[in-house]
Structure 1
Amino acid sequence: MPRNRDLFNDSTMTFGEHLEVLRVHVWRALIGLVIGVVAALFLGDKVIGILSQPIDEALRRNNQPEATDDIGGMDFSGFIKQMFSDEEKKPDKPPVMEEVPGDDELTVDVSIASLVAALKTVAPELVVETPDVPEKKEAAEPDDGDADAAANSKAGSAESSEPVESVSLVLRSDEIALFKKTADRFNRPVTYKVEEAFMTYLKVSLVAGLVLAAPWVFYQAWLFVAAGLYPHERKHVYIYLPMSIGLFMAGAVFCFYFVFPIVLDFLIQFNEWIGVELQPRLSEYISLVLMLPVMFGLSFQLPLVMLFLDRIGVMTVKGYLENWRMAVLVIAIVSMLMTPADPTSMLLMMFPLVFLYFGGIMLCRFRPGASTDPLA
């Protein structure tokens, strides 16, 4: 009987030797994880700044007085229509670039009448009454050559004669700086415990360190697992592992840069619609911003899950096509369970998953690497 020549037949290890190799790789992975966490501790403030950017921008955008003028008196259907409307409010006048006031400065508009009345009260000698001078009638009509000049002079005099209703004054004091700092609190997440910011910093640093050390940890796990795999099994890992990582990263990036701004706008405006003042808590927001991209990344693994079910014979391409309506219903339910309690994030997860469902059908039909698969 011919001897079976497999790659690892001549290097068979005992159970104790397997445990020793596992211990070595686990220690190496832990050392890499500790190094990643320590490095992340020095970058935690920058990571928190990146994670807090969506909520800071959403709060500043929605806390503008003109942003929520029309939300108050509408019903829920009108609120939904406004949220999903493509019409954008255009300013009546082009924006004027003005000098940004300092932290202790406040620019106010005071009417001329109020200013004059105040000056008359405190310093009447500074107010000079100017009697009205009647306009002189023109003695003669201007020549044709001077018509343009006369028209321009009349236009200029008309513009200069327009009454000025108010004047801008700059006020400066330490109390104004305190007032502006207090008002800016509504544009940022807050903490309600003394240790909350520190614990949140440690939590973010731990997650960031895990992300930094993930390639090294996965590499150590792969070194241990690969020794027990056949060549065709390792080939599948080389094909599908990059696909899995790519799908996960695509889901996380899609969630953070596209879903988050829309979801935050919806939730903030919903609070304003029902008359509730929103004051986001830092620890709860960080939990949301860390959890939701992970949920999106995991849900984007749908094509690979479909391929796995097809490979083990649980489902077929024909079965996927015949049951697509039921699949859409299941995707809607899963999207509802994996996202916060708002319809926006549910729909933004559901629509890409429906697209990935049909992408999974195409993946099962082409079946990359099927020629070396013993189950094919």
Structure 2
Amino acid sequence: MDLFGDSNDYFAKTRMSFGEHLDELRGHLWRAILWLFAGMCIAFFFGKPILGFITAPVQIELAKYREFRLQQTEAKLDAGTLPDELIGLEKPTPILDILIPRQALELLAKGQEAGKYAWKPEEGKTLAEGVSQVGPEDMIRLPAAFSDPVRTGLAMNRVMSKLNGDDQLTTLSIQEPALVYLKVSMVAGFILASPAIFWEIWSFVAAGLYPHEKKYVYGSLPVALGLFFAGVILCQFLVMPITIKGLLYFNYWFDLRPDPRLNEWLSFAILMPLVFGIAFQTPLVIILAERLGVVDYQMLKKQRKIAWFVMAFLATALTPTADFTFLMLFIPMGLLFELGLYIIKNRSRDELDIEVPERDEMVGV
């Protein structure tokens, strides 16, 4: 018979010394690192499509922005309100001679395709199949000029922008794409391995929790994951495009040419969904805090105005543009805050399986 033990001690069989706790923690951390490494190895083979998914919003908006700039210039051209530097260019160009193969003109006159031509090759070189060789003596000189070079240039710009990849993100060093690829693989690998990593952490923490505390965690995890992914999806597919449009508008306002960098955009594109995912945990935090007796409905109700002010400040600070983009974080946070208040107001503490003291009972101890 144990004269000193407590028969009601829930942790009697699992209690360990400080050194044993460290050994247990070390084992879980090493296994978590191995899971992370395995996730990175798998994600490494899918880094390109993952990177394409992350950069797609900014590339799409860049293409729309450049088309918008071209349309604005065309509208000014039609209205006669071009800037002075462009007005001076909208004049017929000097007449230049254009060389056209005589054979091409003959074929066109007969309603046939002009064909393909190349200058007579150097000695020892052969032309590709279907290409006719021509020399200066086979050419006809035709005088030509552009009557409206600005409009012609705008039309050519649409094509050249696609060929030059103007809608792509840029890098400032040759090693930057490789570093970005590794960063993407690390983040994607962590997300892929996160269930196993969190399980290792939970296995260590759960050993020190009571059954009712484990029950809270098990009940909260699905809700937390659902809220987190809801915030990420809202940010990726709604907030990000609008945010990019707002940022590009400042470039148009100041008449600047945007040239976003790959590395900078990657950091921004990872941070924003993470912020939204964490912000969407608001009702869950309120409910857990109320169940643990940290706050109650009356306290939160009295401080509601301050809470809304804090949420507005955080939404403004965490969103990058000075337009109304912050409302897309502020409004969901506010609604989720009110949802948390509604839940704790209508949930009686008698429903809990443990006895939680009132706040007044914990004051002055």
**Any conservation in 1 of the 2:243–2:320 contact (CA below 8 Å)?**
no
Aligned-pair Cα RMSD in Å: 3.3
**Any conservation in 1 of the 2:170–2:261 contact (CA below 8 Å)?**
yes
Match of 1:282 in 2: 262
Match of 1:236 in 2: 216
Q: How does 1:329-344 map to 2 (within 5 A)?
A: 329-344=309-324
Match of 2:42 in 1: 39
Structure 2 counterpart of 1:275, which letter?
D
- Aligned-partner Cα distance in 2 for 1:243–1:340: 28
- Aligned-partner Cα distance in 1 for 2:253–2:177: 30
Matched position secondary structure for 1:186: coil
Cα distance change on mapping 1:11 and 1:269 into 2, 3 Å: closer
- Aligned-partner Cα distance in 2 for 1:277–1:201: 26
Match of 1:11 among 10, 14, 17: 14
Cα distance change on mapping 1:66 and 1:275 into 2, 3 Å: closer
Match of 2:59 among 56, 66, 76: 56
Q: 1:41-75, CA deviations, whole angstroms, 9 ceiling, x for partnerless residues?
A: 111111101101111111112211477529999xx
Match of 1:69 in 2: 72
Structure 2 counterpart of 1:5, which letter?
N
Q: 2:176 aligned with 1:193, yes or no?
A: no
Match of 2:353 in 1: 372
Match of 1:154 in 2: none
Match of 2:279 among 299, 308, 318: 299
| Displacement after TM superposition at 1:326 (Å) | 2.6
Cα distance change on mapping 1:52 and 1:208 into 2, 3 Å: same
What are the ranges of 5 or more consecutive residues in structure 2 without an aligned counterpart? Answer: 77-94, 110-155, 358-365
Q: How does 1:243-262 map to 2 (within 5 A)?
A: 243-262=223-242
**Any conservation in 2 of the 1:71–1:273 contact (CA below 8 Å)?**
no
Q: 2:189 aligned with 1:209, yes or no?
A: yes
| Displacement after TM superposition at 1:269 (Å) | 2.5
Q: 1:118-175, CA deviations, whole angstroms, 9 ceiling, x for partnerless residues?
A: 999x99x9799xxxxxxxxxxxxxxxxxxxxxxxxxxxxxxxxxxxxxxxxxxxxxxx
Q: Name the count of aligned residue pairs.
A: 283
| Displacement after TM superposition at 1:316 (Å) | 2.3
Question: What's the TM-score once normalised by structure 1's chain length?
Answer: 0.67
**Any conservation in 1 of the 2:40–2:188 contact (CA below 8 Å)?**
yes
Matched position secondary structure for 1:17: helix
| Displacement after TM superposition at 1:199 (Å) | 1.0
Q: How does 1:35-184 map to 2 (within 5 A)?
A: 35-65=38-68, 69=72, 180=160, 184=164
| Displacement after TM superposition at 1:348 (Å) | 1.0
Matched position secondary structure for 1:10: coil
Match of 2:341 in 1: 361
Question: What's the TM-score once normalised by structure 2's chain length?
Answer: 0.69
| Displacement after TM superposition at 1:285 (Å) | 0.6
Q: Which has the higher contact order (CA 8 A, sep 6+)?
A: 1
Match of 1:149 in 2: none
Cα distance change on mapping 1:188 and 1:368 into 2, 3 Å: farther
| Displacement after TM superposition at 1:254 (Å) | 1.0
Q: How does 1:15-30 map to 2 (within 5 A)?
A: 15-30=18-33
Q: 1:275-306, CA deviations, whole angstroms, 9 ceiling, x for partnerless residues?
A: 11111111111111000011111111111222
Match of 1:264 in 2: 244
Matched position secondary structure for 1:45: helix
- Aligned-partner Cα distance in 1 for 2:342–2:206: 29
